[in-house]
Amino acid sequence: MKDPAAARIAIIGAGPGGLTCARILQHRGIPATVYDRDTGPAARDQGGTLDLHADNGQIALREAGLLEEFFRLARPEGQEMRQMDPSGAILFHHVPEEDERFKPEIDRGQLRDLLLNSLRPGTVHWDHALQGVSGPAGGPRTVHFANGTTIQADLVIGADGAWSKVRRAVSPVDPQYSGVSFLEAWFHDVATEHPDIAELVGQGSAAAADGDRGLFAQRNSGDHIRVYFIQRVPADWIAANGLHPRATDGIRAWLSERYRGWSPRLRRLITDNDGPYVDRPIFALPVAHVWEHNPTVTLLGDAAHLMPPLGVGVNLAMLDASDLALALASHDTIDQAVHAYEDTMLARSAQMAQLLDGAAEQLLSTELPDFATADNR
């Protein structure tokens, strides 16, 4: 059985989960290499803002030795929340206290840079899109990349997201469409170009729903706002309506009709955004997703337990990464470490997946969320 400190550990995916795992392993003297499909760290937009919670994401950053640096980058004012009805009337408004740090916001790109810059040079190998994992369950594993290269690994960690190819080595399960889809759009230079939208959203987020339609707008750093239009539609709704994802004017007109009864001010989130739109159908893995233990392959984050986007995804991925890295640092063999990690992670993810089962529908609900009825938290 391999000693983790002497093992060849391959982490597939340079998202927050994979990078957190690599950072904590290196922090404890265990080498690891990360492989990512992107051609480089700036190859694509990393997405919007996210909140890191004190009881999961922040725990992982503390283990990584990066918590104070995170607080220097984070936006505690981003914890402001506004819940509205379709007329634009505010039903609930939370303004964070000056010292409130339970779940401050940070842009995904800033978080990724924080983690990347904490790693030893050469840790991440870019332009390595995974094709598959072969070899005996007891190892070593052969990892095959689309660029024609292969590596040998004693442990392959799948941190490669919703459509994980590492997952195929341990589980035949694929995510299923939830029936709810997001459509993302942007506002840039909001202070000068869109001051009314800036005031509507505030420093954090603003949401509204009528039972069939919803929207969620969120302040990002750099004077940007992202807005997500939430609908119960078929996964192929754009094509089914004779539209194309890049046909911004056509989608805008369709949305304007769809949200026709909403207030003119809220409908400006449709008519005035800077486009283009990005289609983001919501998928989830079954409750609860488990697999037979394998001593040389394991999963973390969305690869293990993809759930609706309700503020838990990155937080759980980073906590998974921390738990796995700490297990590898504290056990004599990889097999023991993976067993210990999966015992903790699978129980936790099963409980959370059960809690969030069907929760994509909650994004359309007219009922106030729990945080709006419990001491403004």
Sequence-ordered list of residues with C-beta below 8 angstroms from that of 174, at least 6 positions apart, any chain: 163
Whole-model pTM over 0.85: yes
Residues 300 and 338 in one domain: yes
What would the mean pLDDT of 129-136 be, rounded to a whole number? 97
Q: How many domains does the chain have?
A: 2
**What percent of the chain shows pLDDT beyond 70?**
97
* pLDDT tens string 275-307: 789 999 999 999 889 999 999 999 999 999 998
Residues 42 and 133 in one domain: yes
Residues 211 and 313 in one domain: no
In the three-class reduction of DSSP (H, G, I as helix; E, B as strand; rest coil), residue 282 is classed as: strand
* pLDDT tens string 48-90: 889 999 999 999 999 999 999 999 999 999 999 999 999 999 9
CB atoms inside a 10 Å sphere around CB 222? 10
Closest CA to 273 of 239, 249, 309, 246: 249
Residues 246 and 229 in one domain: yes
Strand extents, DSSP E, 8-128: 9-12, 33-35, 49-51, 81-84, 90-94, 105-107, 124-125
Residues 207 and 295 in one domain: no
In the three-class reduction of DSSP (H, G, I as helix; E, B as strand; rest coil), residue 121 is classed as: coil
* Confidence (pLDDT) at 70: 96
In a domain, 94, yes or no: no
* Confidence (pLDDT) at 146: 97
In a domain, 297, yes or no: yes
What would the mean pLDDT of 91-95 be, rounded to a whole number? 92
Residue 228: which CATH number?
3.30.9.30
CA distance 62 to 141: 32
Residue 109: which CATH number?
3.50.50.60
Indicate the pLDDT class of residue 2, thresholds 50, 70 and 90. confident
Is 108 flagged in the annotation as binding?
A: yes
Is 51 flagged in the annotation as binding?
A: yes
In a domain, 148, yes or no: yes
CA distance 276 to 281: 16
Q: Provide the phi-psi class of 359: left if phi over 0, else alpha when psi is between -120 and 50, else beta.
A: alpha
CA distance 263 to 254: 16
Q: Which helix (H) or strand (E) holds 278?
A: strand 278-284
Q: Which of 225, 256, 282 is the last residue of a domain?
A: 282
Say whether pLDDT at 374 is over 80.
no
Say whether pLDDT at 208 is over 70.
yes
CA distance 284 to 23: 28
Residues 111 and 46 in one domain: yes
Q: Which of 19-33, 169-183, 298-312, 337-351 has the lowest mean pLDDT?
A: 298-312
Structural domain that includes position 13 = 4-80+100-174+285-362
**What percent of the chain shows pLDDT beyond 90?**
82
Sequence-ordered list of residues with C-beta below 8 angstroms from that of 362, at least 6 positions apart, any chain: 310, 369
Is 44 flagged in the annotation as binding?
A: yes
What would the mean pLDDT of 92-96 be, rounded to a whole number? 92
Backbone angles phi, psi at 269, to 5 degrees: -65, -20
Q: Which helix (H) or strand (E) holds 55?
A: none
* Confidence (pLDDT) at 126: 98
In a domain, 377, yes or no: no
Residues 320 and 190 in one domain: no
* pLDDT tens string 299-324: 999 999 998 887 788 999 999 999 99
Token pair 């009881």 in the structure block, residue: 55
What would the mean pLDDT of 181-190 be, rounded to a whole number? 95
Say whether pLDDT at 117 is over 90.
yes
CB atoms inside a 10 Å sphere around CB 332? 12
What would the mean pLDDT of 341-349 be, rounded to a whole number? 95
Q: Which of 282, 297, 323 is the last residue of a domain?
A: 282
Backbone angles phi, psi at 75, to 5 degrees: -115, 90
Is 280 flagged in the annotation as binding?
A: no
Q: Which of 31-35, 96-100, 204-208, 211-215 has the lowest mean pLDDT?
A: 96-100
Q: Which helix (H) or strand (E) holds 344?
A: helix 334-356
What would the mean pLDDT of 249-259 be, rounded to a whole number? 94
Q: Which of 251, 282, 313 is the last residue of a domain?
A: 282
